[in-house]
Structure 1
């Protein structure tokens, strides 16, 4: 069993650490976050480990996880490299879906092996995430040897690893942003539109659940072009234009989103029509 040190232990990192600790796959060593209090909170959730106050307080480990936001990855890697806590041959990885492992270059220059793993799921609540992680696709890129080790570690807690191209991660990650982050934004706009149009909140919630679940099931079963319904799917540009005006008057940002999404919907409908024409 190897030992894992963690620098930056947010929702994703603490979820994974707890799963590894519970499975007996890794021993959790030192945990460093922005404050001793948050480090202690992370250790309490994980169930093992030591809350560190600084890099100087961290002991050696064969594996290091940088669970910091994208904007902090490069600076964190530089600071960790300068701390001389990482030894040649140690593995260091981060969890970003956007940033490639190359951002850890200062550590590679000191002999560390570097990689990244992006678990494709929402970690909004670690307590819930630990119950839903099994089956999660996990995109892996970086040093081949370390990537193979990480494949094993993620499989051990129910993950499904797949290989990523580090140079194409920004586009890859945009897919997750559309499928998850923007979905939340769109559903919030839908809920506000229902309520502001006079629908009782409890009825709006029921409507939102039914229509969004149905749409997702249709996309998964039929594919996007054949799952599309509504005025854009029917080519009714007049209705779309009139509705876009109403939405813009209600909420200017939502109106711009409606306009952009309508353009994508018309393009999707055109792809469906072209496919059906070609099949005849």
Structure 2
């Protein structure tokens, strides 16, 4: 267990309330929280019972470890306002949970002597007690100076997580990888369920679950080698038929299907699994539906 900090959290949203509850379960006293919305207040009542809700500046003044769990675009202003108001102090640990931002956004806190950490959980949160179990084994993307590394690692250990260190200049790319994989997966799966529903399948989620579980496991274990389906097989007529029926029944899904089909085609060509003549034929089908006017260099040279 790391040193026990008096914890304050500004932004009692899905992430903040859960992380504060996790630290509290590890023995860190949570002394105050700030959250303005009704949803934040409900989360605080459920996950942090007995913790008073206060103004952000009051939370900051009372905390030895201040968690800033506000949206990315709000974070720079929140840090500046807290620093300018004198709510931050030397020796205090100030950690944010943004995936995109590193330590630069915490410069106003560092300027008054605070010890700054970027601590991002690579997890999607519901803002309920279900998330507490998900913290165990969760990877945290950390960025910290040499003197704060041990503190950051200790906090992750207390939450039951695992550490990956992310260089300051790579924070945005790190976050893009997570968002592209997780956020766009939700969109993709929702659209797939919509297609199955339109096809008359009575349980789209139950139909997809075994397939998606297997595909995800295989992709994580084997990367592109796990790819199956009509594009890697070179089934030109199947891809064309897909697009014809999607256009007729779920036209809003055409752009994402075409975009992902282009990306899949590129990768199938790169690893040599698709014959050049088939790749060109599929590219011709996709070009009729998408706004990609020029063939991918990979496909064009196949």
Same fold (TM over 0.5): yes
- C-alpha deviation, 1:228, in angstroms: 0.6
The Cα offsets for residues 88-129 of structure 1, whole Å up to 9 and x where unpaired, read as 121111111112221122212222222211111111243211
Within a 5 Å distance, the mapping from 1:18-57 to structure 2 comes to 18-24=21-27, 26-34=28-36, 38-39=40-41, 41-56=43-58
**In the alignment, what sits opposite 1:247?**
246
- C-alpha deviation, 1:247, in angstroms: 2.0
- C-alpha deviation, 1:37, in angstroms: 8.3
**In the alignment, what sits opposite 2:90?**
88
The Cα offsets for residues 254-274 of structure 1, whole Å up to 9 and x where unpaired, read as 111111100111122123327
| Runs of at least 5 residues in structure 1 that lack an aligned partner in the other structure | 275-280
Q: Tell me, yes or no, if the aligned pair for 1:12 and 1:126 is still in contact at 8 Å.
A: no
Distance of aligned partners of 1:194 and 1:40 in 2 relative to their CA distance in 1, 3 Å threshold? closer
Range that drifts further, 160-169 or 245-254: 245-254
**Structure 1 Cα separation of the partners of residues 169 and 29 of structure 2:** 32
Q: Tell me, yes or no, if the aligned pair for 1:113 and 1:146 is still in contact at 8 Å.
A: yes
Within a 5 Å distance, the mapping from 1:71-220 to structure 2 comes to 71-200=73-202, 202=203, 204-220=204-220
- C-alpha deviation, 1:3, in angstroms: 0.8
Question: Is 1:226 aligned to residue 240 of structure 2?
Answer: no
Distance of aligned partners of 1:43 and 1:105 in 2 relative to their CA distance in 1, 3 Å threshold? farther
**Structure 1 Cα separation of the partners of residues 205 and 41 of structure 2:** 37
- C-alpha deviation, 1:62, in angstroms: 1.9
- C-alpha deviation, 1:72, in angstroms: 0.6
**Structure 2 Cα separation of the partners of residues 259 and 184 of structure 1:** 17
Q: Which runs of 4+ in 1 moved over 4 A?
A: none
Range that drifts further, 101-110 or 31-40: 31-40
**What TM-score do you get using the length of structure 2 for normalisation?**
0.83
**What TM-score do you get using the length of structure 1 for normalisation?**
0.89
**Structure 2 Cα separation of the partners of residues 241 and 133 of structure 1:** 43
- C-alpha deviation, 1:162, in angstroms: 1.4
**In the alignment, what sits opposite 2:14?**
11
Q: Tell me, yes or no, if the aligned pair for 1:23 and 1:157 is still in contact at 8 Å.
A: yes
Within a 5 Å distance, the mapping from 1:255-270 to structure 2 comes to 255-270=254-269
**Structure 2 Cα separation of the partners of residues 40 and 225 of structure 1:** 43
**In the alignment, what sits opposite 1:277?**
none
| Runs of at least 5 residues in structure 2 that lack an aligned partner in the other structure | 274-302
**Structure 1 Cα separation of the partners of residues 227 and 59 of structure 2:** 55
Q: Tell me, yes or no, if the aligned pair for 2:13 and 2:43 is still in contact at 8 Å.
A: no
The Cα offsets for residues 30-80 of structure 1, whole Å up to 9 and x where unpaired, read as 211225884475154223532113524654322111010011100100111
The Cα offsets for residues 164-210 of structure 1, whole Å up to 9 and x where unpaired, read as 0122122111211122111111111111101111222x2x2221112
